[in-house]
Amino acid sequence: MLATKTVLTIEAAKAIAGACEAEAKAKGLRVVIAIVDDGGHLMLLHRDDGSQVGSVEIATLKARTAVLFRRNTKTFQDVVEGEGRYALLCIPNGIPLDGGVLLKHGEEIIGAIGVSGASDEDDGDIGRIGASLLTSAG
């Protein structure tokens, strides 16, 4: 009747954000990194000095969109751009831009990263670097 689930710890969130921060810095980018748990609740927010303030909300929305719809936000962006399904632009409190990346333990979704402040492609690449820590950890 009851299930056991893996939860994202603050230590893991800090390590993931650190990997994202290092990647952004290596590319000379100033970004905002938001990490949410599996319910879409903010666990950690990192804002680089000099990053645009508007990216705080966008990064958080990207992370929430990914976890609440159980897919990376690039999927939504690809459908809008490739198939012209503009109705996806109306997702309540969602954002169909690359940069929202699921955090998984095996197949279990335990949270998501949202990155904003660079191009959509760079945001997504930075988020995927952070998510890869969980893949390489086991």
pTM of this structure:
0.94
pLDDT tens track for 87-136 = 888 888 889 999 999 999 999 999 999 999 999 999 999 999 999 998 76
Residue with tokens 């000095």: 49
Determine the pLDDT at residue 88. Answer: 84
Backbone angles phi, psi at 54, to 5 degrees: -60, -20
Determine the pLDDT at residue 31. Answer: 99
Determine the pLDDT at residue 138. Answer: 54
One-letter-per-residue 3-state SS of 40-106: CCEEEEEECCCCCCCHHHHHHHHHHHHHHHCCCHHHHHHHHHHHCCHHHHHCCCCCCCCCEEEEEEC
**What architecture is the 10-137 domain classified under in CATH?**
2-Layer Sandwich (3.30)
**Top-confidence residue, 8 or 93:** 8
C-alpha separations of 132 from 24, 57, 93 in Å = 15, 24, 26
The whole-angstrom separation of Cα 86 and Cα 136 is 36
pLDDT tens track for 36-66 = 999 999 999 999 999 999 999 999 999 999 9
Determine the pLDDT at residue 91. Answer: 84
